[in-house]
Amino acid sequence: MVRAVSATLILFGRHHFQQFHHALMLVRHFPAHP
């Protein structure tokens, strides 16, 4: 049970990190200048 939850959290965290990294790259590629 704990192992399954841990694996789910790891997969979710990895997916979330990829989305965050993609968003960060978009922000760096398109800097918001006032």
CA distance 18 to 25: 10
CA distance 11 to 3: 12
CA 32 to chain centre: 21
Whether pTM > 0.85 for this model: the answer is: no
| Confidence label for 34 from pLDDT (cuts 50, 70 and 90) | low
Alpha carbons within 13 A on the beta-carbon side of 19:
6
Average pLDDT of span 11-34: 82
First to last CA, the chain: 50
CA 18 to chain centre: 4
Average pLDDT of span 3-30: 87
